[in-house]
Each structure stands twice: as C-alpha cells, then as structure tokens.
Amino acid sequence: MRERTKLDASITAVQTIETDLADNVEIIELAEMDDDKEMEAEAEDALKALAMTAKTAELQALLSGEADGNDTFVEIHAGAGGTEAQDWADMLFRMYLRWAESRGFKYETLQYMPGEEAGIKSATIQIKGEDAYGWLKTESGVHRLVRISPFDSNAKRHTSFASVWVYPVIDDSIEIEIDESDLKVDTYRASGAGGQHVNTTDSAIRISHKPSGIVVQCQNQRSQHKNRAEAMSMLKARLYEAELRRREEEADAVNATKTDIGWGHQIRSYVMQPYQMVKDLRTGHESGQPQKVLDGALDPFLAASLAARVHGDNKPVSDID
C-alpha cells in the first residue's frame, strides 16, 4: 500500500504539472493577443513557480532504487591525524544530525566512541524517515576539511580527513542468511565522558564478519542481548547494501570508500581557509557557504550526486539552490 500510494502521488504530480503548464501557456497566448500585460506577467510568475515544482518532482523520481525508501545507518570514522581528524569527524556527525532534523527525521545514536581530547573516533547513527537511505546513499566516501586548526597554537592551516559509510536498514521481508561460524563476537565496556551516547556496563557488542571483513558495533542499549540484536541488524544491512552496489555495478565506488582515509580518495572538500568553499569532486557542485553546509544544508549536494548517479554524468538534471 505504501508503494501504491507513492506511485499514485508521483503520477498525479506529473499530470498536474502537465495540466498547469498547458493552462498557463494558453493564458499567455491569450494575454498577448489582447495585449494584457498584467495577465501575461501573472501567468509567467505561475510558470516560474511550476518550474520549481517540476524540479522537486524530478528529484523525487531519482529516489527509485530498491532500498531508497528505507531508513539508513550512517557510520563516521576519523582518519589519521589525532585530535584534528577526530574533531572533523564530530563536525560531520553534527552535520548529518542537523540535516535529519531539518527534514523532520528521527535519529538514534547506536555507537559513539569519543576521542581522547576532543571529537570522536567513530560513531554510528540510525536515521529514520521516508527515503532516508535514498537521499544519503551517495554520501559514502572520504570527506576532507581544510582550516586553521583551533588545536594549533601557531594557527597553521591543517587538512583533515574522515570517512562516511551509508547503508540501508532492511525490514523483515528481506532474508539475509549468515553462518554463525563466519562471525567473531567481542564484548567490551563502552567508554567515554558519559551522557546519552554511552553506558558503563559490559554490554557493548562488536561483530566481525570474516568473509567480508565487515565490522559493526553497538553500545546504546544496556542489555547485551539487545545490543547483539541491533548489531546483527546492522551487519545484515551492510551485507545487503554490498549486494545492492554489486547489482548497480558500482564496485569502483565501493572500493574507493574502503581505501585509506587520506589524499586522493575524497569525494568532497570543505575549505574554511584561505577561502570559503565546499566542492563535491564527483559532480563539481559548489557552495561558498561552508558553515551553512555544516549546519545541515546538504540537499543541493545530495540532489547533484543523485542526478549524476542516475544519468551517468557529472551534471545535475536541475540546479537546486
């Protein structure tokens, strides 16, 4: 029923756009015949508004992948560089939470490993909302930050890296078979400063899937059994996401996200100094307001990368401001 409702809404949107377009073109033709400038201007304004509606519908049509409508897991890992890289990973963590909030999505922090001095070593978020995975699936990769380090007393410019991995939450209708002998399960005590992200019991779970090399962790529940169930759900989702990528013949993109978190592998650069710029290296999309992007204004970048993925080029189907 959800799929039927979504398809019905998409068809209705296209039909409405076609009808409104024909009506406004006819009004402009009549206005030109009658030399009615006011009516002509109103119809032109209506066409501009219709163009924005068409852009929205166009973007929605890009979210047609098998798991695009699902909730999503987002993993963030700091690259080499100690405190500077860990602070950058924490900034990305905050960016995705702000993006989720801007869309009215719910989220839950499943794993959070703080850095020694500041920032985070790694974190895993579950974002719940319509098409959450579809919107974020192209965010997997290495993100690069250039700025004057607040941790450097000499105020020198630093370059930091962090990796992001996005994969869908799968529902019970999708069966993923996992051989228990392929798993290595470790328990440990969650550590940190306390608060909502961690607990202090020996209930945290780390599961390693030997054939694929995938490792997942969960520590948000106080029950070891609940953490294990959540970690198994994450592992199944990772395996499913890998299969989706194979079907889409994007092995090169997957391999790129598994390489070193450093030079030559980044998908997006966030430059704070000596100039202000965020640039996606896959699509060429840019923003001169990096702070706005870090506050969650990701939609233009997500739209551009989705369009490039569907159309096989580096140009978005429409410019989205």
Give the number of domains in the chain: 2
Do 46 and 160 belong together in one domain? no
Task: Cite the beta strand spans of 169-299 per DSSP E.
Answer: 183-188, 204-209, 214-218, 266-271, 277-280, 286-287
Do 45 and 190 belong together in one domain? no
Residue 297 clears pLDDT 80, i.e. is over it? yes
Distance CA 278, CA 270 (A): 4
Q: What is the DSSP string of 72-108?
A: EEEEEEE-SSTHHHHHHHHHHHHHHHHHHHHTT-EEE
- Other beta carbons within 10 Å of 136: 22
pLDDT (tens digit per residue) in 128-146: 998 899 999 999 999 999 9
Do 254 and 181 belong together in one domain? yes
Do 134 and 158 belong together in one domain? yes
Q: What percent of the chain has pLDDT over 70?
A: 84
- Radius of gyration, CA atoms only, the chain: 23
Q: What is the DSSP string of 112-157?
A: EEE-SSSSEEEEEEEEESTTHHHHHGGG-EEEEEEEE-TT-TT--E
* Among the ranges given (28-42, 53-67, 87-101, 149-163), the one the predictor scored with the smallest mean pLDDT: 53-67
Q: Work out the mean pLDDT of the chain and round it to a whole number.
A: 83
Do 100 and 168 belong together in one domain? yes
* CA distances for 189 relative to 192, 200, 307, angstroms: 10, 6, 43
Give me the sign of the Cα torsion angle 255, 256, 257, 259: positive
Do 250 and 122 belong together in one domain? yes
- From 62, 86, 114, the end of a domain falls on 62
202 lies in a domain?
Answer: yes
156 lies in a domain?
Answer: yes
**Exposure letters 144-154 (e unless 16+ CB within 10 A, then b):** bbbbebeeeee
- From 62, 84, 101, the end of a domain falls on 62
Confidence band (pLDDT; 50, 70, 90) for 46? very high
Confidence band (pLDDT; 50, 70, 90) for 58? confident
Do 11 and 160 belong together in one domain? no
* Among the ranges given (53-67, 110-124, 229-243), the one the predictor scored with the smallest mean pLDDT: 53-67
Average pLDDT for residues 54-69, to the nearest whole number? Answer: 79
For residue 13, give both structure tokens: 């949107």
Do 294 and 148 belong together in one domain? yes
**pTM for this entry:** 0.69
pLDDT (tens digit per residue) in 230-259: 888 888 888 888 777 776 654 444 444 444
Do 48 and 134 belong together in one domain? no
Range of the structural domain that residue 49 is part of: 2-62
Residue 99 clears pLDDT 80, i.e. is over it? yes
Q: Where on the phi/psi map is residue 176: left (φ > 0), alpha (ψ -120 to 50), or beta?
A: beta
Residue 57 clears pLDDT 50, i.e. is over it? yes
Confidence band (pLDDT; 50, 70, 90) for 312? low
For residue 102, give both structure tokens: 């801007």
Average pLDDT for residues 64-76, to the nearest whole number? Answer: 87
316 lies in a domain?
Answer: no
User: Which CATH number does the domain housing residue 171 bear?
Assistant: 3.30.70.1660
Q: Which of 3, 139, 133 has its CA nearest to residue 68?
A: 133
For residue 5, give both structure tokens: 């409702």
**CA-angle at 71, arms to 66 and 72, nearest 5°:** 95
For residue 129, give both structure tokens: 């909302």
* CA distances for 152 relative to 78, 144, 271, 277, angstroms: 18, 18, 17, 22
Do 172 and 264 belong together in one domain? yes
Residue 268 clears pLDDT 90, i.e. is over it? yes
143 lies in a domain?
Answer: yes
Query: What's the pLDDT score for residue 255?
Result: 45
Higher pLDDT, 232 or 203: 232
Which of the 8 DSSP states describes residue 202?
T
Do 153 and 263 belong together in one domain? yes
67 lies in a domain?
Answer: no
- From 41, 62, 83, the end of a domain falls on 62
Do 269 and 298 belong together in one domain? yes
Query: What's the pLDDT score for residue 10?
Result: 81
Average pLDDT for residues 201-219, to the nearest whole number? Answer: 85
